[in-house]
């Protein structure tokens, strides 16, 4: 079920505006986590550019007139701080801080890539994904987790606090 939903959402995002425009009626993001044992893992967030812009302006209390192409470059520290505040990732009992790597703007959405160190095989992964929900009550955040040959999917909305995944 989650696989079909995620595939449809990815297809909608991939059409870069055919399904949605800048005044979109849905509030959704997709995050893909690639877990590596004893190496650099990654988290890639796909977020509508106007939603992220509004969230960062609300979070930092400063108005930005930057065009979408340079918004993250200008506000990289605020974006990183915001994501780390509203996206909590715990491997075992250790809270993970995401480090900004790069981003691209594709159509009306940002792909923002972060990395983090993972020193052991993840047995339990706990996630809290509340980003954008402080502004958009209908926001949904879909999380895809890849570890070795396993894939897991989680969906967060305003009623979801924390979810866990075990890889045993």
Kindly report, residue by residue over 2-18, the tens digit of the pLDDT: 454 444 454 454 443 43
Q: Is 75:60 a contact under the CB 8 Å cutoff?
A: yes
pLDDT tens by residue, 68-87: 999 999 999 999 999 999 99
41 φ/ψ angles, rounded to the nearest 5 degrees: -95, 170
Looking up tokens 């989680």 gives 154
pLDDT tens by residue, 118-149: 877 677 899 999 999 999 999 999 999 999 88
Mean pLDDT of the chain: 86
Looking up tokens 């877990």 gives 35
Separation of first and last alpha carbons in the chain: 22
Percent of the chain with pLDDT over 70: 85
CA atoms in the 13 A half-sphere facing the CB of 156: 24
Q: How confident is the model at residue 23 (pLDDT cuts 50, 70, 90)?
A: low
Q: How confident is the model at residue 66 (pLDDT cuts 50, 70, 90)?
A: confident
150 φ/ψ angles, rounded to the nearest 5 degrees: -110, 145
């Amino acid at each position: 079920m989650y696989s079909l939903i995620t595939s449809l959402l990815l297809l909608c995002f991939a059409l870069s505006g055919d399904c949605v425009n800048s005044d979109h009626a849905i509030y959704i993001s997709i995050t893909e986590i690639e877990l590596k044992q004893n190496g650099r893992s990654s988290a890639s967030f796909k977020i509508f550019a106007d939603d992220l812009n509004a969230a960062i302006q609300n979070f930092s209390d400063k108005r930005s007139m930057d065009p979408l192409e340079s918004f993250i470059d200008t506000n990289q520290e605020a974006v990183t701080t915001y994501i780390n505040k509203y996206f909590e990732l715990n491997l075992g009992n250790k809270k993970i801080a995401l480090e900004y790597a790069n981003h691209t703007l594709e159509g009306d959405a940002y792909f923002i890539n972060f990395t983090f160190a993972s020193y052991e095989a993840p047995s339990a992964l706990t996630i809290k994904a509340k980003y954008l929900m402080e502004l958009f009550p209908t926001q949904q955040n879909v999380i895809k987790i890849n570890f070795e040959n396993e894939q897991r999917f989680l969906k967060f909305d305003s009623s979801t606090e924390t979810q866990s995944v075990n890889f045993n």
